[in-house]
Amino acid sequence: MSGLAERLASVDARIADAARSAGRDPAGITRIVVTKFHPAALVRDLHALGVTDVGENRQQELVAKAEELSDLDPLRWHFIGQLQTKKARAVRRRASAVHSVDRERLVDALDTAAEPGAPALDVLVQVNLTDDPSRGGVPAADVEALAERVLAAPSLALRGVMAVAPLDEAPAAAFARLAACADRVRALAPDATWISAGMSADLAEAIACGATHLRIGSAITGPRDTRG
Ligand SMILES: *Cc1c(COP(=O)(O)O)cnc(C)c1O
């Protein structure tokens, strides 16, 4: 547990430093701990250290951990992976936000999956910052059309945009394009203020480009199957 606490504190110090360098208030930045491949017990340890936001990229893993940890409060689950439409209902039941909305059929599936009286689901439009269509996300040119589709879905709340930096480009350049997409989405929906960007290796660049939600895995959790 102490190794985990140290890594969490060290990442939070990096976040605070990067925010200060960018002239931003660290309180405006949400640190989501990505717990994929790690057991539910690690999420329980993180919660005991004050973590309230966790991320998963696979539907089955999110559902299983959320069920096992349903006694923890507050604990918000962020879904950050590619999502099949047939899994939309299961994710919607457990997640408070879906960062990886990348096509109209998924918008419709998430909207249809709303249970009566359930709160609106926070969603982000995932932007593909590469030229490779197999990576998740919509091309930057299609962001507004997909955002409009979300805005038309009564049970979804459009919160902003999400992206993963390409492997073959400086993250700052890619995150600058994401910031431009975020501006265009905010022109449609002033409340859509989230920018989900920044992982273990590029959190400072993401903060400099306005990221509001960081998705940090290995720098906090350590390598897969290792407990702190
Ligand atoms: C795994 C993952 C992360 C966290 O990556 P680290 O490099 O371990 O910090 C962030 N975002 C997405 C979409 C991921 O799949």
Q: Give the C-alpha separation, 141 to 215, whole Å.
A: 24
Check if 57 has its Cβ closer than 6 Å to any atom of ligand 1.
yes
pLDDT tens sequence across 17-59: 999 999 999 999 999 999 999 999 999 999 999 999 999 999 9
Say whether pLDDT at 177 is over 80: yes
Tokens of 134: 């197999």
In this structure, is residue 195 part of a structural domain? Answer: yes
- What is the average per-residue pLDDT within 67-76? 98
Q: Which pair of structure tokens corresponds to residue 62?
A: 């999110």
CA-nearest residue, atom 12 of ligand 1: 80
Report CA(56)–ligand 1 centroid distance (Å): 9
Residue 23 lies in a domain: yes
Cβ-based neighbour number of residue 215 at 10 Å: 26
Q: Which two tokens stand for residue 131?
A: 């030229």
Residues 96-148 pLDDT 10s = 999 999 999 999 999 999 999 999 999 999 999 999 999 999 999 999 999 99
Give the count of domains, the chain.
1
Q: Which domain holds residue 171?
A: 2-221
Is 177 part of any domain?
Answer: yes
217: burial class by Cβ within 10 Å (0-12, 13-18, 19+)?
buried
The Å distance, Cα 198 to ligand 1 centre, comes to 8
What's the gap between Cα 136 and its chain centre? 13
Specify which residues 31 forms β-bridges with.
214
Residue 186's CATH number: 3.20.20.10
What number does the ligand 1 atom closest to the CA of 162 have? 13
